[in-house]
Structure 1
């Protein structure tokens, strides 16, 4: 048929076919990437290298430490959660060698008051006031805590053995500090898993974080560590050897944390790897089966979830390309590519959902005889079968990893929660690209932090079953 004789409906059907072919090709590539990770993980399981070891003691850090452990907690408008965080940490880690440095801003009196109420009863907590109005950036606050630590070390003539990073809303594990203390002798950076606790009132929005962390921190990070790649920091449950922190500061003008990065925690692991430091992802269970991990609530409304994931996508995928480039061996570049695929994945997901709506519209047109059915090409048919089978496999994998940590019910609803995850990814990807464009035009990088109004320590026992 000559091109001029195509009707609008026929043009729509043709466009739909070509976009479907394009999306199917990219989804097939992404599926091959995921299958490569799955195959690597399966091999690690078969060879016993992915087995999660168990500690035989009760997991409490009430024994002597190798040296002083400094915990950094940056806080801006965290008066609702910082008290429970500190109280739980001090109760879980009964150690004289512990020092918790909490960075508060001079214009945040409620948070200062909440920290002061804890510090009055326990001298292991130190309030550090940032001498600028907040918020600046999380890394800027962390750098102020680093200077405070150095001042204390100079006065006491005693250096910390390690620095552990946590957020103001974290619920630490009783076994974490002792494990980190033992492991940091052999490594420069150690990352513990994160468990996103699904609150009962937000099984869908907050719950999708549970699915993502359950799979990522039980499979992807295990593979990454086994391949010898740089371990990205999560910003919580992250331990840095004190000498490495000094090396980072010396290499970056006295500031070990990347002040102008939205994801300074992720960049920290990459910077340590660039200096030749050795990192590891430490996944351990207690004798009774509890995963030693940092537990916390994540955003329970879509607006906050999109804001948070916008920051992650902007910082890791877009800023990371500019700030970190592409370095290392093949495995490092492969993992870096996986980290930075967020914006492209958002675009492809948006196209895929638009194609679903278009297919419904085209089916209606076919039913009314407006257009003839457009038969997909053999290549497209093969790709659709392959990607559909891959989707089923991905759903089963997601459900299995979620069920292992959170129970059968959460594993079942992890499958429909993939839709929630995809919608949030599309929205945050669009906002991240727009935010990145603004920074290219000179907009400042600010701490677009998540608001926290609830804390798991208020609802759960200190010993949380994994």
Structure 2
């Protein structure tokens, strides 16, 4: 029996080691490209030209009009504060909010009305969906799009850009000017997303800080360097009005795909397939702070699993069917990285099972004073190589977290990797169940999580 368990241990560890090695080398290649790109820009560009800040942007109010779409289903707890935050941040800008709501969501409508009673009502259009909610986020966004077209016709003005935000977002005062200014040169402009650190959920909510710090500090920059598509994060991102009009024309008037759970991600890839160019912009304001969108992410295990399962269905599972593998080598590589979540969860499960089985066999050896077959030399080598890559991976992530959040969160990012792995494995299981039901004909709906808005003192 123990010999059989030792054989199972070896097979689990071998499968996990090969999978982890492939993922580790993949991440290492991205790291090396980022390092080379950063050194080249420092030597060839920033040695001759200073980094641009918002002091070089046109004056407040000179860029516009810019449309902001905010889909809102069951958001009464946050939407009023979000609107007030926009009033404060963008009070002098030529901007107009289109907030998509539902007729059966009276609390959200009332919260918006209360906020608008304090002013700024000329800058907001409440778009009531013709169907009761929830439908899909893309459906709410398409309603906002049609309302924007009516606004353009009535006002005899054409929007310069379309910006997406969620109801819980904390916006930066300079973001509208920056996106609007760049929208004439780029089809998609993505600003960094900086999750807020929830003091009561350093581990669950905190792992989003680690992932976004690395993704929006490195991974998207590498995609840009490779000429691959720039996926939209769905918040803090703007699209050229002309490009959105072309997408709508190709989709019978609705630019957002209502059958998708990740319509924002897909839109970025569709725009790239049309020849449009996306860019991630990491610019500092006059105070030296990064121009970014801030928000709280899920702070409980169930909510995090629910959200990441939705992302996995839309990107890794349904996205494979819907978007295929078009593009060159760089694009194919990035899409493969996007879609590896489910396979990565299986590899992680095998790795943890192999580790637990190894620990159990060691205990049996020690207590029973028996000798079991050792690990094969080749497997030992693979495990050592993976250990070295893991140390590198954790160090790289900690560096990006340090830059975004400081040394304390950088140290927490190391053990938080284990939490992120648990969330990923549970989310992959939920995603597979949702996707299999979808294949049997079950309709995908807006499977959203509850949101909360931060106190002003919490915002950087």
| Length-normalised TM-score, structure 1 | 0.94
Once the two structures are superposed, the pairs formed by residues 121-270 of structure 1 within 5 Å of their partners are 121-122=119-120, 123-270=122-269
Are 2:12 and 2:353, in contact at CA under 8 Å, matched by a contact in 1?
no
Deviations 1:390-435 (A, max 9, x none): 1111111111111111111111111111111010001001110111
Mapped to 2, the partners of 1:10 and 1:317 lie a distance apart of: 38
Q: Equivalent residue for 2:63? A: 66
Say which SS state the counterpart of residue 128 (structure 1) adopts: strand
Q: Equivalent residue for 1:399? A: 398
Say which SS state the counterpart of residue 240 (structure 1) adopts: strand
Q: Equivalent residue for 1:93? A: 90
Q: Equivalent residue for 1:358? A: 357
> Which of the numbers 8, 16, 24 marks the counterpart of 2:17?
24
Change (3 A) 1:380 1:236: same
Mapped to 1, the partners of 2:428 and 2:359 lie a distance apart of: 25
Are 1:194 and 1:294, in contact at CA under 8 Å, matched by a contact in 2?
yes
Say which SS state the counterpart of residue 449 (structure 2) adopts: coil
Change (3 A) 1:56 1:273: closer
Say which SS state the counterpart of residue 415 (structure 2) adopts: helix
Are 1:104 and 1:127, in contact at CA under 8 Å, matched by a contact in 2?
yes
Once the two structures are superposed, the pairs formed by residues 49-64 of structure 1 within 5 Å of their partners are 53-55=51-53, 57=55, 63-64=60-61
Determine if the alignment matches structure 1 residue 110 to structure 2 residue 107. Answer: yes
Are 1:183 and 1:190, in contact at CA under 8 Å, matched by a contact in 2?
yes
Q: Equivalent residue for 1:44? A: 37
Are 2:261 and 2:313, in contact at CA under 8 Å, matched by a contact in 1?
yes
Q: Equivalent residue for 2:389? A: 390
Mapped to 2, the partners of 1:371 and 1:157 lie a distance apart of: 85
Mapped to 2, the partners of 1:385 and 1:244 lie a distance apart of: 49
Are 1:139 and 1:257, in contact at CA under 8 Å, matched by a contact in 2?
yes
Are 2:54 and 2:284, in contact at CA under 8 Å, matched by a contact in 1?
no
Q: Equivalent residue for 2:344? A: 345
Q: Which runs of 4+ in 1 moved over 6 A?
A: 49-52
Pairwise CA RMSD:
1.7
Mapped to 2, the partners of 1:104 and 1:56 lie a distance apart of: 33
- Does 118-127 or 441-450 show the bigger shift? 118-127
Mapped to 1, the partners of 2:355 and 2:316 lie a distance apart of: 27
Are 2:81 and 2:115, in contact at CA under 8 Å, matched by a contact in 1?
no
How far is 1:289 from its partner?
Answer: 2.3
Mapped to 2, the partners of 1:399 and 1:290 lie a distance apart of: 20
How far is 1:54 from its partner?
Answer: 4.1
Change (3 A) 1:105 1:95: same
How far is 1:369 from its partner?
Answer: 3.9
Say which SS state the counterpart of residue 71 (structure 1) adopts: strand
Mapped to 2, the partners of 1:254 and 1:374 lie a distance apart of: 66
Mapped to 2, the partners of 1:302 and 1:103 lie a distance apart of: 28
Mapped to 2, the partners of 1:444 and 1:371 lie a distance apart of: 56
Deviations 1:313-355 (A, max 9, x none): 1111001001101110100000000000000011111111111
How far is 1:58 from its partner?
Answer: 9.6
Once the two structures are superposed, the pairs formed by residues 373-452 of structure 1 within 5 Å of their partners are 373-452=372-451
Gapped regions of structure 2 (runs ≥ 5)? none
Aligned length: 453
Deviations 1:215-268 (A, max 9, x none): 111011111111111100000011011111111111112110010100011001
Are 1:162 and 1:240, in contact at CA under 8 Å, matched by a contact in 2?
yes
How far is 1:56 from its partner?
Answer: 5.2
Q: Equivalent residue for 1:4? A: none
Q: Equivalent residue for 1:5? A: none
| Length-normalised TM-score, structure 2 | 0.95
Change (3 A) 1:23 1:115: same
Deviations 1:70-119 (A, max 9, x none): 00000000011001111111111123521000001000000001111223
How far is 1:371 from its partner?
Answer: 5.3
